[in-house]
Amino acid sequence: MERKYSYDVVVVGGGAAGIGAAVGAAQTGARTLLVEKNPYFGGAATHSSVLTYCGFFTQGEPYEQIVGGVGQQVLNQLAKMGMYNGPRRTARTRTVIVPLDPEVTKVALDRCIMESKVEPLLHAQVIAAEVQQGRIRAIQCIDHAGPFVIEAGAFVDASGEANLTSLAGGGVVFGDDQGHLQSATLMIRIGGVLAEADAHPLKVEEAVQKGKAAGIVGLTKELGTVVRMPGCGDVLAILCDEEVNGLEAASLTRAEISARNQAWAYLEAFKRFLPGFENAYLVQTGPQIGIRETRHVVGEYCLKGEDVLEARRFSDAIARGGWPVELHPEPGAPNVWHQIKDQSFYDIPLRSLKVNGVDNLWAAGRTIDCDPIAFASARVMGTAFATGHAAGVAAALTSSSGQADAQAVRAELLRQEAII
């Protein structure tokens, strides 16, 4: 018998953007389904061990909180479990981050979803979209039992790879205008490190250089982000870079295997050349290599590098971004940073979320319409909660009234305590 379901709003992808969108849509009154192919929500945070939420705050002194609403609800859940009592600054770049524990994050996100009456659907992958007269009528998903259909009045593409937009025939671009992508990185989590060990990125850089000089094969990046995890004191390192097309299984397979070899090379370098790491061991890689960039949607407005760096404001602002531009140009190369004017924030307009050519489809998170410089800031998870929240509200209004006027979306976001 054919399995068929019907909702007001369906959100595809349960990362930061998808959580923001689903909770935002449900809080606007929409019957909302959140579809995720993994066995847990969190996207890159839980599935690629990207265990620091960036973008909730500006970088100035003092910092200012610029993401509220659903993002704040997530922080509240983390706080209830003793895993959040305010952000901290990183040792080298002095950026403001919220460190995470993966298991606490999984449960905190489950609780946000359940409390807001979103219907969760894990282990389901979206594989097709049925479009009629410029609107998605239904999507097709697959699980182990086979394909099934879900109809809805409006949809949010929070898949990270703009999968739904692509399936629905909406406009997408791959990487920058030349098809160049930010590099991917396999996260490595290292345990058995002495509490007094100095894991400052510059010390780590020295150890990697010594490792390279000693002939350890497979090391790429020397200087990158290295943070201590809350609670356990494990060290998380963002160093094992790979060039990969994150849309294609064959390319991903090569990159996963190569990056795992890198992880063991870094462990060897740390054990030999970083004091306090002599008994270190690899707690975890990934699980999946972290993909920074694949497709972006073509929306009604492409957010530009100048908008970000000059801290521009828009009358249809639905979110704020405050993370500096952080480029990962190629595997092994140092990250390139550019500060936002006055270490302040920029607005993200609703038009950057509206997918051109598909009337009832909204984009969220790292899929929104950005140029390469703007993307290097707006992609972080704090900002993804905010663009997701707005996309969810816009989708709920589209489903109930056929349209989502920017001022109506802003009014509803303010009612839900978003910071705009």
Ligand X SMILES: Cc1cc2nc3c(=O)[nH]c(=O)nc-3n(C[C@H](O)[C@H](O)[C@H](O)COP(=O)(O)OP(=O)(O)OC[C@H]3O[C@@H](n4cnc5c(N)ncnc54)[C@H](O)[C@@H]3O)c2cc1C
Binding site for ligand X (CB under 6 A): 12-18, 35-38, 43-44, 47-48, 50, 52-55, 125-126, 158-161, 163, 185, 187, 238, 290-292, 365-366, 379-382, 384
Residue number with CB closer to ligand X (236 or 409): 236
Residue number with CB closer to ligand X (51 or 267): 51
Q: Which of 212, 218, 148, 154 has its CA nearest to residue 186?
A: 218
Given the structure tokens 């500006």, which residue do they identify?
A: 58
Residue 201 CB, nearest approach to ligand X (Å) = 13
Residue number with CB closer to ligand X (164 or 280): 164
Residue 285 CB, nearest approach to ligand X (Å) = 12
Residue number with CB closer to ligand X (185 or 416): 185
Residue 5 CB, nearest approach to ligand X (Å) = 15
Residue 212 CB, nearest approach to ligand X (Å) = 21
Residue 125 CB, nearest approach to ligand X (Å) = 4
Residue number with CB closer to ligand X (180 or 272): 180
Residue number with CB closer to ligand X (211 or 246): 246
Are 330 and 297 contacting, i.e. CB atoms less than 8 angstroms apart?
no
Cβ neighbors of 232 (< 8 A, separation 6 or more) are 101, 191
Are 361 and 353 contacting, i.e. CB atoms less than 8 angstroms apart?
no
Cβ neighbors of 314 (< 8 A, separation 6 or more) are 347, 348, 349
Residue 279 CB, nearest approach to ligand X (Å) = 26
> Rounded to an integer, what distance in angstroms lies between the CA atom of residue 302 and that of residue 318?
15
Cβ neighbors of 406 (< 8 A, separation 6 or more) are 315, 316, 318, 349, 350, 351
Are 159 and 37 contacting, i.e. CB atoms less than 8 angstroms apart?
no
Residue number with CB closer to ligand X (273 or 390): 390
Cβ neighbors of 57 (< 8 A, separation 6 or more) are 63, 64, 65, 66, 87, 96, 322, 382
Count other Cβ atoms within 10 Å, centred on residue 15: 30
At 160, the amino acid letter reads G
Residue 330 CB, nearest approach to ligand X (Å) = 14
